[in-house]
């Protein structure tokens, strides 16, 4: 559970009687744990009538540098991706800057909707769901959700916070990575960076991979830093339970990367990796870390 704590990163810490800054603390007494410094907003989608929740975390220096605009990182599946990326972003700079500080935006699910149902609907490109999906499950609204991000969420964030419009990074894993790959090929300028983690290219008989040549034919340029990752054990190897038994996500990831490279887009900075000793469930923290290093490396600032 994430609570909308009002102790944001832009608030000045009060001084104690000893003259030192008071450190915000949890409420205690059995109250729910809060991710201090976070905010939660309801952002409706006019086209579908669905209201989504958006989580916000501001960087540590936000209050101290009022003239500075910040990159923004948008992460899908915010219930786990938001706290993970927030921590990674801070830990990576613990011994000096390695990545740019960023405003973090967590893209949560439809308000009141079951998480898996929400992501099936919003992150997939066709109505033909997986064979193990529940009866009546809705799929195939990724383009509608893409437009919601473009027309509602991004303007909402950039109107309220000191965001740098030219520095937006998308982060998604699994179905979220599939959504990111589709955005990259249909609205590539929405983001300047893409972290595509273990994309579910297997969906609907590899629909998006089959569409990739035609989609890229319509894209004159991709000017973006793109990091793709997949775990070693996401390859298909029958009989070895460490590996996938039905789909080969390593091969699919490589196929997509090869199709991008073949276009020789001058502005495309692509890195694709297979991360050793990782599976579909374990690989995200490592992939997210590498993705931030690729898309938002720290840069020197003139004092």
Using 50, 70 and 90 to split pLDDT, how confident is the model at 84? very high
Q: Mean pLDDT lowest for which of 129-138, 169-178, 223-232, 263-272?
A: 129-138
Tell me the mean pLDDT in the region 215-232.
98
Which pLDDT belongs to residue 5? 37
- Name every residue whose Cβ is closer than 8 Å to that of residue 134 and which is 6 or more positions away in sequence: none
Query: Using CA atoms, how far apart are residues 127 and 148, in angstroms rounded to an integer?
Result: 19
CATH number of 43-295: 3.40.50.1820
CA quadruple 24, 25, 27, 31: dihedral sign? positive
Positions of E strands within 45-201: 51-57, 70-75, 103-110, 163-173, 193-197
Strand order across the beta sheet in which 38-44 lies? 38-44, 51-57, 103-110, 70-75, 163-173, 193-197, 224-231, 268-275
**pLDDT on residue 231:** 97
- pLDDT of 22 reads 60
Nearest to 144 by CA among 154, 152, 155: 152
Which pLDDT does position 238 carry in this prediction?
A: 83
Domain ranges of the chain: 43-295
- pLDDT tens digits along 247-299: 999 999 999 999 999 999 999 999 999 999 999 999 999 999 999 999 999 98
Query: Is residue 117 pLDDT above 90, yes or no?
Result: yes
CB-facing half-sphere around the CA of 296: CA atoms within 13 A: 32
Judged against a pLDDT cut of 70, whether residue 303 lies above it is answered with no
* Average pLDDT over every residue of 225-232: 98
For Cα atoms 135, 140, 141, give the angle at the middle one, nearest 5 degrees.
120
Is the pLDDT at 86 greater than 60? The verdict is yes
Q: Which of 244, 243, 242, 234 is nearest to 273 (CA)?
A: 234
Q: Which residues pair with 72 in a beta bridge?
A: 103, 168
The lowest-confidence range among 90-104, 197-211, 230-244, 276-290 is: 230-244
* Residue 207, helix vs strand vs coil: helix
70, 102 contact by CB (below 8 A): yes
Per residue in 92-103, pLDDT tens? Answer: 998 889 999 999
Residue whose pair of structure tokens reads 């975390």 in the numeric block: 57
The pLDDT of residue 16 is: 36
Distance CA 49, CA 55 (A): 19
**DSSP class of residue 234?**
G
Residues 50 and 43: their CA atoms lie apart, in Å, by 9
- Minimum mean pLDDT range among 16-30, 140-154, 250-264: 16-30
- pLDDT the model gives residue 23: 66
Using an 8 Å Cβ cutoff, are 106 and 72 in contact?
Answer: no
Which comes out higher in pLDDT, residue 8 or 169?
169
Tokens of 105: 């935006």
Q: How far apart are the first and last CA of the chain?
A: 40
Q: Tokens 């220096």 label which residue?
A: 61
Asked if pLDDT for residue 13 goes beyond 70, the answer is no
In this prediction, residue 11 has a pLDDT band, given cuts at 50, 70 and 90, of very low
């Amino acid at each position: 559970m994430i609570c909308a704590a009002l102790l944001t990163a832009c608030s000045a810490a009060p001084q104690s009687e000893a003259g030192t800054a008071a450190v915000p603390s949890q409420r205690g007494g059995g109250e729910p744990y809060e991710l201090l410094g976070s905010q939660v907003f309801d952002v409706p989608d006019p086209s579908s009538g669905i209201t989504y929740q958006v989580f916000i975390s501001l960087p540590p220096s936000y209050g101290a540098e009022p003239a500075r605009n910040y990159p923004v990182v948008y992460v899908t599946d915010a219930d786990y991706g938001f706290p993970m990326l927030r921590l990674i972003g801070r830990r990576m700079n613990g011994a000096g800057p390695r990545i740019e500080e960023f405003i973090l935006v967590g893209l949560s699910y439809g308000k009141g909707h079951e998480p898996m149902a929400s992501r099936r609907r919003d992150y997939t490109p066709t109505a033909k769901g997986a064979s193990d999906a529940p009866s009546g499950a809705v799929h195939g609204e990724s383009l509608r959700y893409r437009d919601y991000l473009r027309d509602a969420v991004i303007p909402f964030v950039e109107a309220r916070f000191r965001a740098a419009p030219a520095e937006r990074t998308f982060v998604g894993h699994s179905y979220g990575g599939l959504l990111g790959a589709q955005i990259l090929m249909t609205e590539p300028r929405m983001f300047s960076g893409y972290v595509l983690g273990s994309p579910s290219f297997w969906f609907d008989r590899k629909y998006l991979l089959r569409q990739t040549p035609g989609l890229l034919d319509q894209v004159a340029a991709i000017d973006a830093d793109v990091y793709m990752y997949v775990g070693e054990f996401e390859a298909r190897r029958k009989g070895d339970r460490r590996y996938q038994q039905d789909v080969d996500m390593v091969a699919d990831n490589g196929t997509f990367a090869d199709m991008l490279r073949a276009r020789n887009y001058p502005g495309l900075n692509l890195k694709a990796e297979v991360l050793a000793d990782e599976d579909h469930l374990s690989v995200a923290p490592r992939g997210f870390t590498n993705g931030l290093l690729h898309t938002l490396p720290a840069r020197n600032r003139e004092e």
